[in-house]
Each structure stands twice: as C-alpha cells, then as structure tokens.
Amino acid sequence: MDKLSRKEAARVSNDPTSDNPRSHGSEGSMTEQVRLRPGVTAVRIGVGAGRPTPRQKPNGGANRLLPEDRPVHQWYRFVLSFPPHLVRDYVERFEIGPTHRVLDPFCGTGTTLVECKKLGIPSVGVEAHPMAHFASQVKADWSPDPDGLLAHATKVAGAALARLSREGIHDDLFRPNGSVNLKALRRLPPESARLLLADSMSPLPLHKTLVLLDCLERRRDDRYHRHELLALAKAVVFSISNLHFGPEVGVAPPKTDAMVVHTWLSEVHSMAADLRAVRRLQAAEVKVHNADSRRIAEVLEPQSIDAVITSPPYPNEKDYTRTTRLESVLLGFIKDRAGLRALKAGLVRSNTRNVYKVDDDDRWIADHPEIHRIAHAIEARRKCLGKTSGFERLYAKVTKLYFGGMARHLAELRQVLRPGAWLAYVVGDQASYLRVMIRTGRLLADIGRSLGYEVVGIDLFRTRLATATREQLREEVVLLRWPG
C-alpha cells in the first residue's frame, strides 16, 4: 500500500463522538540523552540511536485517540492504551508493507492489529486475557453487513424494551422509573457477583443489562452477535455502570438508573457507521490467538514475523483482570474465582495480585545484576519503612518475575521472527514499588541484548508525572532487531 492510501486509511472518520478510552499503561551509564528540541529528548544507546517518536509530547495528550482514528479503534479500548498513530509511525519507520506480517504479542484491545488492517498489512495478535482477546477479534472482523447489523440490533432492542415495559420498567431518562421492587430484579449468580468491584453496577441498570443479554441470546444471529456483545461491553463500562477510570478503575457515586438499551443501540449505530467507512479499504488479514506470549512458539509458525509493535504490561501494579472485570463477568469470560485464577496464571506477572508460590519466571533473569539490585533495594526500603502487608512483601519478587517473564517471552519469540525483523516495545519507567526507580525500557533493552537481539535505540514516547515522587517518568519505545 502506498503512502497516499495509508494516509487515506488513517483519515476515514465518520463519528464525532468523543473518545472513551481505558489504562494501562528513570539512570544508567551506557546511554546518552540527546536534546532534540525543548521538551523532547531521545536516548541513544548501543549501536544506532533511538529517535523521538513523531507527534510525541513531553506530557499529556501523546496517547489520545485522534478524531480521524476513531473508526473501529473506538469500539472498545483500554484507557490510555497506546495510540494508532504510534503504530503508523513505526510501520513507516520499519518500512513495513502488505507483503510483511506484523505481530503484537500483547495485543490487548487490538490497536496494532486494527491499524495494520487499515493500512493493508497482515498482522497477528496474541492475548492471554479472554475479554481483551474477544475485543481484538471483533475489532479485526469487518465482515458484518452494517445494515443487517443495525436491523438485527433494532429488533433485539425492541424486544428488550417490550420485555422491560411489561415489567413496568422504562429505559427513558424522561420517564424515570419510580420505586421498583429490587427483589424482583435479575441478578448475577453469587459466585460471579462476588468477583465484581463492590457497587460496580446499580441493581436496576444491571437488571436491564441482563434482560438485554437474554434477548441477544434468544434472538442470536451469529453474523452480528459478537459485535453486539462488544458494543454492550463498551456501553456498560463507560455509560451504564458506576465505574470510572482515573486512569485506575474505581467506583463513582452510584447511578440508580441508566438508559441501557438506547445506549447500547447508539454504540451499534456507531459501529455500523464505522463498518461502512472501512469497507472501502483494502483490508488485510488479521489472526488473533488467545494464548500466553511466554509460549508464543506454540501458536505461531517459525520465522513468520517481520516486525513486532507492542505495549506489554509494565511492573506497575496494574491488574488487567480488575480493569476489565465487569464486562468479563457479564459476557461470561470469567465465572468464578477458579476461572479468575486460571486467567491470571497466563499473564506476565506485572502486579502483586497475580503472584503464586509456583512462579519461577525469575530464573530467566538469574544472571542480571541490575534487576537483582533493584529487587534488593525494594526489599531493603520495605524493611526500613516497616511495611509488612502481603502485597508489599511481594514487590521485590514481582519485579524479578516481571522481567523474567519478559525475558522468557523474548527468548521464545526468536523462533518466530524472520532474520532482520524489527521490534518496538512501548514500556514505562515505574516507581510504584516504594519509590524505587525501575527503568523498564533500559532493562528490557539489556535483556534483549543478552538474548542476541541488536539494540537499535530507545525512543522517548512521552513523560508523565509520578504522583508519589513528583518525578517525570519516561514512557519509551525500545527498538530491537533480530539478526537471525
């Protein structure tokens, strides 16, 4: 695909609604900080040099979803997940085209995959969380006929509204529901309800959502079902529930009522408009695996990947199973504690809520003195501060497990890369473990080098202020090359 058509791909825009994203989310001697212009620096390391990512800003809006990027990306995404323009920048820089294949081994809600599809570049994603895997799969599927999708969703909405109306319940903010008999409302099974953050959703909106889900199942049409469910996930999380993201997930004062059917239908309308807009693109093939990227060679062909563009988890206490808990439970991806635990076991250990006795990824970084120094510093600070909670005791361990897990991933990845493959890993420095600085990008580059990758450089994507330390933390793009 030539540059003109790429730009056109990026420009398809039809929906002026605001973006509704969700989150994820520095010293050393071998590097040189290069000041490029006020507020913009790049770090040169090893051979070659990292460049600042185009459009980067020292703080703030660098990872906002640009209005022209909203089609499809906006169907459901993590707050602050990396932006499509970053993917475009690296696709261009790596000179990736339709004859290549891009991999995102931590594809989350599919930003890399959707952007590659828009650009006509084949891609493959790997994601261990079933809800994020589902979102990526649906966002990569542009096959539903937009009119058919709308017609079907309108029928389902009619059925749900009629059912609610027979129960004396309105879905109309101009006709508020008076007192409702809470005991008569539908609820989640207790083992599922127990998994939710308390008061994630008020009883009446939950009842309406469960009625809608039931109507979707009874009138199920497989051509549209998954898209309709993803639209519901977005509507529930950002409009119907009591959740808020700042960027961590929290619970706001409860909404006793909310429009459910109409909000969902409006999301489906927006989806149908996007499907119409992207239909004219020469879209490329996308495949998404629900798998663990530490065992990536089990799902990908040897030497099948030309470039990796990804943002893996960071060691920052962010729990992806918590930020997505409500929709994961409502759509049936997690049913009980055992299911939640099994899911967590498949994730890189980036927070103390998914560390288990049997974990041993730290053996992959047994010879890395800097990671051990950091882990000792965290443990020494914990003792010095007299911190004794279970979580605090795990900070040092999770740091080693995190880098060990990433090392394991990078080691296994070598089998699936073509010689000369380019890699871009977007990661952030962290100081959340008792304020001990973890320079994630530097350490990842070091691990890559020890595994035989060429370290091309580290670009500064943006900086953000750490509230605890008032320091600017760097969010960087680690650039590697696999020599083969």
Ligand X SMILES: C[S@@+](CC[C@H](N)C(=O)[O-])C[C@H]1O[C@@H](n2cnc3c(N)ncnc32)[C@H](O)[C@@H]1O
Q: Choose between 28 and 67: whose C-beta lies nearer to ligand X.
A: 67
- Stretch of 108-116, 180-188, 236-244, 416-424 lying at the interface with ligand X (CB under 6 A): 108-116
360 Cβ neighbours under 8 A, 6+ residues apart:
404
Nearer to ligand X, 24 or 325 (CB): 24
Helix/strand/coil for 422: strand
Burial of 357 (0-12, 13-18, 19+ CB in 10 A): exposed
User: Binding of ligand X at residue 82 (CB under 6 A)?
Assistant: yes
CB burial readout 114-151, b (16+ within 10 A) else e: bbbbbbbbbbbbbbbbbbbbbbbbbbbbbebebeebbe
Q: Which two tokens stand for residue 180?
A: 């409702």
User: Amino acid identity of 132?
Assistant: A
Q: Which is nearer to ligand X, 76 or 395 (CB)?
A: 76
Q: How far is the CB of 211 from ligand X (least distance, A)?
A: 30
Per-residue interface string for the shown chain with ligand X, residues 350-389, x marking contact by CB under 6 A: ----------------------------------------
24: contact with ligand X by CB under 6 A = yes
3-state secondary structure (DSSP) of residue 35: strand
**Should residue 50 be labelled a site residue for ligand X when binding is judged by CB under 6 A?**
no
Among 21, 50, 52, 108, binds ligand X (CB under 6 A): 108
Name the token pair of 28.
Answer: 């050393």
Question: Smallest gap, in angstroms, from Cβ of residue 83 to ligand X?
Answer: 9
CB closer to ligand X out of 103 and 216: 103
Distance CA 415, CA 420 (A): 13
How many residues belong to the site for ligand X (CB under 6 A)? 25
State in angstroms the smallest separation of the CB of 44 from ligand X. 26
Which CA distances in Å does 115 have to 6, 19, 74, 274?
Answer: 10, 16, 12, 14
* Binding of residue 78 to ligand X (CB under 6 A): yes
Q: Answer yes or no whether residue 292 interacts with ligand X by CB under 6 A.
A: yes
Strands (E), 392-453: 417-428
Q: What is the spatial distance between Cα 119 and Cα 10, in angstroms, rounded to a whole number? A: 8
CB of 146 to ligand X, least distance (A): 24
Q: Specify the residue, 135 or 216, whose C-beta has the smaller distance to ligand X.
A: 135
Q: Which of 26, 31, 56, 109 forms a contact with ligand X (CB under 6 A)?
A: 109
Six token digits for residue 461 = 């994507």
Instruction: Answer yes or no whether residue 102 interacts with ligand X by CB under 6 A.
Output: no
Which chain residues interact with ligand X by CB under 6 A? 24, 77-78, 81-82, 106, 108-111, 126-129, 132, 292-294, 311-313, 320, 346-348
